[in-house]
Amino acid sequence: MSRPTSWRLERYPELASTNTHLLERAREGCAEGLAVLAGRQSAGRGRGGRRWCSPPGNLHLSVLLRPPLPLARCASLALVAGLAARDGLLRFAPDLSVRLKWPNDLMLGDAKLGGLLLEAAGADRGEEGLVLGLGVNLSRAPADLDRPAAALADMGLALPPEPAAEAFLDNLFLRYRRWLEEGFRGQREEWLRASVGVGARVAFRTGAETVAGTMVGVDEEGALLLEVGGRLRRFLAGELFFARRPLSPAGLRAPTGGA
C-alpha cells in the first residue's frame, strides 16, 4: 500500500467529533492521509469515552491512517504521534517544557495540556483504518476535570489552531513514515527523553487490577514496563498515575540543555 505524499486537510467550523467523522469516512473507503480540523466539537471525547472539552480556539484535529499491520502492532503509533505533537508545539515555543505521559498525554508540569486518541475503524487490521485524534488546550483549559489542566494561553503564548495543526502534520508525516520503516524502536529513546515518570513510583490501573510499582520505561512495541514487587511487568493498556509535583512558572520552561 502506498503511503501519503502529503496530508489533505479539511476544515469545519464545528463537528460532533473529528474522530467520529473520520471513522465514518474510513468505513466508506476514504484513502489514507485525510486530516480533519474543527473549530469546535459538540461531542468531543478522550480515552475511555471521557468527555473532551472542545471550545473555540483549541486544537481539534484527526488524521486517517491505514498502516498495513495488525492492530496489535499499532499501539506504539500513539507514542510516535505524541512526539510529533511535542515537536509541533516546540516549533513555536522552543523553551516550553512539554513532556509526554504514557500512553497519550501531553503535559506541562503536572498539568494536562493535550491528549491523543487512537481508534480503529476495522476489527482486525490497521489497513481497515486507524484514526488518530489530537486535542490541545491552546486558548483555554477545562476547569471541571479531576486533575490539573493547562493551556498555552496561560503561559502567555498565543497559537491559533491552524498553524498548530500544520506543524503537527508536518512532523507526523516524517515520524509516521519512519515508524512504518523501522517500528517504534528507532524513536523509543527520543520518547523516553521526552517522557515524564521514568524512575518514579507510580500506580497503574488496568481493568479491575491496580498495582503500585516503579516505572522502568517502555519497550520497543510501546508497552509500559513497571517493576512491581521485584518483578518486571509489561502492560499494553491502562491508566498511569504518579505523585504530583509543585507547579511553578519556571518549571514549565525547559531546563538549559534539556531534551
Q: In whole angstroms, how large is the CA radius of gyration of the chain? A: 17
Asked whether the predicted pLDDT for residue 246 surpasses 80, the reply is no
Q: Which of 157, 18, 35, 15 is nearest to 98 (CA)?
A: 157
Average confidence (pLDDT) over 61-72:
91
Q: Which of 194, 197, 151, 177 is nearest to 77 (CA)?
A: 177
**pLDDT (0 to 100) of residue 147:** 78
**pLDDT (0 to 100) of residue 129:** 87
Residues above pLDDT 70, as percent of the chain: 85
Alpha-carbon dihedral angle through residues 128, 52, 174, 36, given to the nearest 10 degrees? 70
Range with lowest mean pLDDT among 135-144, 168-177, 223-232: 135-144
Task: Name the grid cell of 207.
Answer: 481493568
> Residue 71's pLDDT band (boundaries 50, 70, 90)?
confident
> Residue 123's pLDDT band (boundaries 50, 70, 90)?
low
Average confidence (pLDDT) over 219-234:
95
Task: Name the grid cell of 203.
Answer: 500506580
Q: Which of 57, 179, 58 is nearest to 118 (CA)?
A: 179
Range with lowest mean pLDDT among 52-61, 78-87, 130-139, 155-164: 52-61
Average confidence (pLDDT) over 172-185:
96
**pLDDT (0 to 100) of residue 161:** 97
Q: Domains of the chain by range and CATH? A: 8-195 (3.30.930.10)
**pLDDT (0 to 100) of residue 5:** 58
Q: In what order do the strands lie in the sheet with 224-228?
A: 231-235, 224-228, 209-218, 201-206, 239-242
> Residue 42's pLDDT band (boundaries 50, 70, 90)?
confident
Asked whether the predicted pLDDT for residue 22 surpasses 60, the reply is yes
Q: DSSP of 113-180, one letter per residue?
A: EEEEEEEESSSSBGGG-EEEEEEE-SS---SSSSS-B--GGGGT----HHHHHHHHHHHHHHHHHHHH
Average confidence (pLDDT) over 19-32:
93
Asked whether the predicted pLDDT for residue 29 surpasses 70, the reply is yes
> Residue 142's pLDDT band (boundaries 50, 70, 90)?
confident
Evaluate whether 139 touches 57 at the Cβ level (below 8 Å).
yes
Task: Tell me which residue has cell 503511503.
Answer: 3
**pLDDT (0 to 100) of residue 251:** 42
Alpha-carbon dihedral angle through residues 190, 194, 195, 199, given to the nearest 10 degrees? 80
Average confidence (pLDDT) over 94-100:
94
